[in-house]
Structure 1
C-alpha cells in the first residue's frame, strides 16, 4: 500500500507543513510531560486524573506500566512511552506513535488490554480512503481535545509550577520547547483543524454516495 508523504498527510489533516512539524514536536514534549506527571513526588497525576495503572507482567518490567482510561462515546485512551492510543464505538481505534504525527488504524475495533511493547499491537492500517482518513481525523481530534482537558484539569488541581518545571527540563534536553500557553493554544488549534478536515471528508463521502 502506498504511503502518503508528510506533505500529502498534512494537507489531508488541514495543516500547513509548519503546523504538521510543530505537531510532531508538541506530541513528543507532551509524552515527556506525562512521564513527569507519573514520577511526581507528591503523587501520580495520571492516576489522580482517573487512569488505571496496569503494571507489566513478571519478567517484562522493562516495559513499564500501561495507563488506561475510559472516555466519552464508549471509548478508551491508553498512554505508553512510545505513543498514544484512542478509540470510540463509531470510528474504531488508532495509534499515534511518538516522533511522528502519522496515526494508523488498528485492525480491531478495540485497544488490546495487554499492551507492553509495539510487538503486542494488532495489525496497523495506514489510512488511504477518504472514509478511513475521516475516521482517523475524528479520533485524532478527540485525542487533541482530551489533551486540552487534561492540561486544564492539571492546572486547576496543582497550579502551573509543576508543568512549567517539566517543560524547562525538556528544554534543557531538546533545546526547544513550547510554553504552557503555547501548549494549550496548539492543541486547541490541532483539534479544530483536524475536526474540520474530518467533517469535510465525511460530507464528501456522503455526497458521492447519494
Structure 2
C-alpha cells in the first residue's frame, strides 16, 4: 500500500504568503472605484440573513484540463497508482461548473478548503452546506486514505490555476495600487498569477 500524499512544507510556505495576499486583494477588489470586481467577474454576493457583517461570494468555476502528471508508483510493487493523473474537470460538453466560494478567512473549491490562517488545506463535501459563514462553521477533515490524499492534491492544483486565471483578468495597475496599500511585504502585481501557477507545478 502506498502512503497518503501530504502537502510539502515548501508548498505550505509559499501558499501561506500567496493566499494571505490574495484574500487581501479580493477584499480590495470589492472596493474598486468603478464597481465591485468580484461581481464583474461573475461572482454572486450572498449576505447572512441576520448578521449584516457576514457575506460571501459564490461562483461556478470551469477550467481547462490539468496538465497530466506521472502516475504514482505503489511502494515496492512496481505498479502504478489506480487513480487517473487527471482531475475530471467540469465545463466540457454536458458538464456543469465546480463551486467556488470566497470569505475573508479563505476559500472553498469543489470540496477543498484553503484557510487563510497558516494556509490550512482540508477536505469537505463537494457541495457547500448553506450555513457556512465563519471559519468555525466549516466541517473539514485531513485526508485519511490514499484516495483522499490524491483528491486533495488535484483539487489544490485546480484551485491554484483558478486563482491565477482570476489574476490574469485583473488590471495590472489596479493590482499594484491595492498592494501599495497593504502593510505587509508583498509579491509584486506582475508576479502574482505566475506564482500561483508555479505553486500548481510544485504540487504535481
Matches within 5 A, 1:47-196: 47-58=39-50, 60-63=51-54, 65-72=55-62, 73=90, 74-87=97-110, 93-106=111-124, 108-121=125-138, 123-154=139-170, 159-170=171-182, 173-174=183-184, 176-194=185-203, 196=204
Using the size of structure 2 for normalisation, the TM-score is 0.76
Query: Which of 1 and 2 has higher RCO (CA within 8 Å, sep 6+)?
Result: 2
Q: 1:101 & 1:163 partners in 2: Cα distance?
A: 22
Q: 1:62 & 1:132 partners in 2: Cα distance?
A: 34
TM superposition shift of 1:19:
4.5
Using the size of structure 1 for normalisation, the TM-score is 0.74
Give the number of the structure whose residues are more often helix, by fraction. Answer: 1
Q: 1:105 & 1:12 partners in 2: Cα distance?
A: 13
Query: Hey, what does 1:33 align to over in structure 2?
Result: 25
Is the counterpart of residue 20 in structure 1 residue 12 in structure 2? yes
Number of aligned residue pairs? 168
Q: 1:12 & 1:126 partners in 2: Cα distance?
A: 9
Q: Which stretches in structure 1 are left out of the alignment for 5+ residues?
A: 1-8, 88-92, 197-210
Q: Which stretches in structure 2 are left out of the alignment for 5+ residues?
A: 63-89, 91-96
